[in-house]
Amino acid sequence: MSENDNREPEGQPEASSSPVASEPTVEPAQVESAQTETAQQEKAQTETAQPEPATTDTQPAAAVPSEPEAPAAQTEAPATQAEAPAAQEEAAAPPPARRVETDEEKAARRKAALEAREAAKAAAAQAAAQAAQAGTDGRAAAKAGDGESSEGEEAPPKPPSPKQPLLDKVTRLLRELVAEDAVEEAYINEANDHLPTLVVKNERWLQAASLFRNHTDLQCSYLRNVSGVDYETYMEVVYYPLNMDSRECYCVKVRADRELPSVGSVTPIWETANWNEREIYDLLGIDFPGHPDLKRIMMPDDWVGHPLRKDYVPLDPEV
Amino acid sequence: MIRTEELLLNVGPQHPSTHGVFRIIVKLDGEVITEATPVMGYLHRGTEKLAENLNFTQIIPYTDRMDYVSAMTNNYVLCHAVEKMMGLEIPERAEFLRLIVMEMQRIASHLVWWGTYLLDIGAISPFLYAFSDRERILGLFNELCGARLTYNYMRVGGVKWDAPEGWIDRVKTLVKDMYNRLDEYHNLVSGNEIFLSRIKGVGQYDAETAINYGLSGANLRCTGVQWDLRKAEPYSLYDRFQFDVPVGKNGDCFDRYQIRMAEIEQSLRILDQALEQFPGDGETMGKVPRVIRPPAGEIYVRIESPRGEIGCHIVSKGKAEPYRLKFRRPSFVNLQILPKLLVGENMTNLVTILGGIDIVLGEVDC
């Protein structure tokens, strides 16, 4: 089964340095902690600095892949060095004497490992620098391309998205007809067929929704999907209104405070939102004021908590 | 003095006509329904929650169990979403295999619907016809991937197994036979007076209502809206093939019936062409990294399942597991219109209307 060996590639450097029996335990731990650090950084960055990850995100992205590779290459040399004394020792000394000797051996090996680690670090830094120069360009493009951020500001000048006029039109309409501050963010999600994506201010959402539905230039009579997402610092409800005649689709996001999340119900505007909102309420605990019958839909009525929240802890210990 | 009282009747969750564990509480005035309240969640397994701790390859078998009558399209929507996020290229042979199994699945799914719908209405023998033909399709799937229902056949980047020797020819024979069988079905059922009087004009709604309720698939097309994602937003290789999108005009159960029957025929047409153009050799897996990690970002991908628009919304943070995975399930969305349709209807029409929507509870509850 190929998916079984889909284990994390971080395991590789450990495996290749395994001849150095006792010391490398430090090393993988370090690699791991470094990775969790970067992971945390990444998380923090994506959470706080969502508008401009095109520049910030690329740094960890470049560092992460080069890190496991570099130590793997570097440790091979010291490993063979350390292996040689180990082999001698096995041949010459009987098992009990060996234990006494290992202390000295250990010191030597520790030194070797330390050197290796430093070398690896240097190599990683070098590789990262190189990657930053050359390799990241593609990555940056891909990163920015997946639409986390503003349109196209990376190094190679890209032609503007074919959907850019659409996005500009909606943004303008919302700013003019709803409120100046109605649109918090607007960008093109390139990976998703250049989907125009907007973040609409929570308080303005209901007005914006009826604009989407009724305005002659939009007429999104079909709401194809409603999703709720728990981003740990805030909640987000994602709507996908669609105009079936012009086949123009948008992604509209509304953010809500995480403690008492509340987003105006669009059930009076699109009837299809009814059960979708009930489901989001049930699984994520987002309140939809204005909903005709907001109650649980999937979980039993007496269920405690909202299972799709990231901090959900099941009450039943057997679950 | 004759006094009538409202009667509260529980239909389901263990009732064969609800096609699973669906429960509906109806208030009856005599035989007329005055209120209907669907109760769901009996099959809720928390797929979306489970998926947050699984990598994408591990999620594929879970999608089999959502719409278990049409597992292939569920496989596809997930794989397609991840591939799109990662910008992967799929070998042509793999894409052909996917398209062929999806269209076969559409036929199998419509056959299940056809058989069970008539069973709901009171005709038992069509069920046996439908299932014997469906069994042939399942047998071919079994040859392909070793499973009859929960295939776990597709992978991010391609398909798990190549078609065995002679498989394509056997599908060709099946397609040829199915045209004849379809004629037989029409002879057997489609003109039946009793059947027609049971479904004509029942469960009627107009295009505006259908759109407002977000209906998709045959439920939307029966009102005359020409909306099939294979045509409207082509994915896979659908833009290479000639086929029509059958639409109705009255928006009643009869139109839905006709559309599904016509869709079987269109699927056969697509299969004809796809089997003819099927590449003789080639890879069945694209170049895929060992660990599937879609870049951080968000995507919403939708395809046309036999029941309508099935969508997959992935929020990725660049990890091997999705940060959030949401499925837009056509059965769940389509079912919303049921309480509205039932009010004022005769109790006997409950199963007619419910069956006409064509739901699969595994997908409603997810």
Among A223, A227, A281, A319, most B C-beta atoms within 10 A, so best to mutate, is: A227
Question: Closest Cα of chain B to A281: distance in Å?
Answer: 14
Residue contact A283–B48, C-beta within 8 A = yes
Nearest to A146 among B233, B297, B300 (CB): B297
What ipTM does the predicted assembly reach?
0.91
Nearest to A270 among B44, B57, B214 (CB): B214
Say which residue, A99 or B322, is predicted with more confidence. B322
B103 falls in which pLDDT band (50, 70, 90)?
A: very high
User: Residue holding tokens 């004629």?
Assistant: B183
Rounded to 5 degrees, φ, ψ at A262 are -155, 130
Using an 8 Å CB-CB cutoff, list chain B residues near A247: 232-233
* Nearest C-alpha in A relative to B366: A298
Tell me whether residue A228 is in a domain. Answer: yes
B109 falls in which pLDDT band (50, 70, 90)?
A: very high
Confidence (pTM): 0.74
A173 falls in which pLDDT band (50, 70, 90)?
A: confident
Nearest to A8 among B46, B291, B326 (CB): B291
Which pLDDT does position A165 carry in this prediction?
Answer: 84
Say which residue, B99 or A4, is predicted with more confidence. B99
In this structure, are A55 and A140 located in the same domain? yes
Which pLDDT does position B322 carry in this prediction?
Answer: 92
* Nearest C-alpha in A relative to B302: A224
| Interface membership of A143 toward B (CB under 8 Å) | yes
Among A197, A220, A224, most B C-beta atoms within 10 A, so best to mutate, is: A224
Nearest to A6 among B57, B208, B317 (CB): B57
In this structure, are A16 and A139 located in the same domain? yes
In this structure, are A116 and A33 located in the same domain? yes
Residue A200 has pLDDT above 70, yes or no: yes
Which pLDDT does position B107 carry in this prediction?
Answer: 94
Using an 8 Å CB-CB cutoff, list chain A residues near B225: 244
What pLDDT, in 10s, does the model give residues A102-136? Answer: 556 556 666 666 666 666 666 655 655 554 454 44
Residue B73 has pLDDT above 70, yes or no: yes
Which pLDDT does position A280 carry in this prediction?
Answer: 93
Among B326, B335, B341, most A C-beta atoms within 10 A, so best to mutate, is: B326
Using an 8 Å CB-CB cutoff, list chain A residues near B335: 275
B72 falls in which pLDDT band (50, 70, 90)?
A: very high
Residue contact A298–B214, C-beta within 8 A = no
In this structure, are A184 and A259 located in the same domain? yes
In this structure, are A123 and A218 located in the same domain? no
Which pLDDT does position B290 carry in this prediction?
Answer: 87
Among B222, B223, B220, B224, smallest CA distance to B261 is for: B222
Residue contact B211–A299, C-beta within 8 A = no
In this structure, are A79 and A133 located in the same domain? yes
CATH number, position A266: 3.30.460.80
Residue contact B298–A147, C-beta within 8 A = yes
Residue contact A43–B317, C-beta within 8 A = yes
In this structure, are A178 and A280 located in the same domain? yes
Tell me whether residue A5 is in a domain. Answer: no
Q: Which of A116, A145, A174 is the last residue of a domain?
A: A145
In this structure, are A49 and A125 located in the same domain? yes
Q: Which of A113, A145, A177 is the last residue of a domain?
A: A145
Which pLDDT does position A155 carry in this prediction?
Answer: 58
> Which domains are present in chain B?
42-337 (1.10.645.10)
Residue contact B317–A42, C-beta within 8 A = yes
Work out the percent of chain B whose per-residue pLDDT is above 70.
100
Tell me whether residue A297 is in a domain. Answer: no
Report d(CA A81, CA A95) in Å as an integer. Answer: 21
* Nearest C-alpha in B relative to A282: B41
Tell me whether residue A299 is in a domain. Answer: no
A222 falls in which pLDDT band (50, 70, 90)?
A: very high
Residue contact A57–B291, C-beta within 8 A = no
What pLDDT, in 10s, does the model give residues B181-229? Answer: 999 999 989 888 989 999 998 989 999 999 999 999 999 999 999 999 9
Order across the sheet with B324-328: list the strands.
B297-305, B308-316, B324-328
Using an 8 Å CB-CB cutoff, list chain A residues near B317: 42-43, 46
What pLDDT, in 10s, does the model give residues B270-314? Answer: 999 999 999 888 888 888 888 888 999 999 999 999 999 999 999
Residue A82 has pLDDT above 60, yes or no: no
Chain A, residues 196-215, CB within 8 A of chain B, namely 197
Tell me whether residue A152 is in a domain. Answer: no
Residue A10 has pLDDT above 50, yes or no: no
Residue contact B300–A195, C-beta within 8 A = yes
Say which residue, B266 or A58, is predicted with more confidence. B266
In this structure, are A178 and A276 located in the same domain? yes
Using an 8 Å CB-CB cutoff, list chain B residues near A220: none
Residue contact A227–B313, C-beta within 8 A = yes
Tell me whether residue A241 is in a domain. Answer: yes
In this structure, are A113 and A213 located in the same domain? no
Nearest to B300 among A6, A240, A307 (CB): A240
Residue A80 has pLDDT above 60, yes or no: no
A318 falls in which pLDDT band (50, 70, 90)?
A: low
Tell me whether residue A315 is in a domain. Answer: no
In this structure, are A141 and A189 located in the same domain? no
- Containing B305, the helix (H) or strand (E) segment is strand B297-305
Using an 8 Å CB-CB cutoff, list chain B residues near A228: 326
Chain A, residues 167-186, CB within 8 A of chain B, namely none
Nearest to A223 among B57, B214, B318 (CB): B214
Which pLDDT does position A102 carry in this prediction?
Answer: 55
Region A72-101: what's the mean pLDDT? 45
Q: Domain total for chain A?
A: 2
Using an 8 Å CB-CB cutoff, list chain B residues near A35: none
Report d(CA B63, CA B71) in Å as an integer. Answer: 7
* Nearest C-alpha in A relative to B226: A244
Q: Which domain holds residue A274?
A: 164-284
Residue A150 has pLDDT above 50, yes or no: no
Q: What is the largest CA-CA distance in chain A?
A: 90
Nearest to B336 among A7, A274, A298 (CB): A274
Region B336-364: what's the mean pLDDT? 90
Residue contact A230–B295, C-beta within 8 A = no
* Inter-chain CB pairs, A–B, below 8 Å: 132
Question: Closest Cα of chain B to A106: distance in Å?
Answer: 36
Which pLDDT does position B256 carry in this prediction?
Answer: 92
Which pLDDT does position A67 carry in this prediction?
Answer: 42
| Interface membership of A274 toward B (CB under 8 Å) | yes
Lowest mean pLDDT among A118-122, B50-54, B135-139: A118-122
Tell me whether residue A311 is in a domain. Answer: no
In this structure, are A119 and A178 located in the same domain? no
Which pLDDT does position A61 carry in this prediction?
Answer: 41
Region A277-295: what's the mean pLDDT? 92
What pLDDT, in 10s, does the model give residues B218-237? Answer: 999 999 999 999 998 899 89
Residue contact A229–B324, C-beta within 8 A = yes
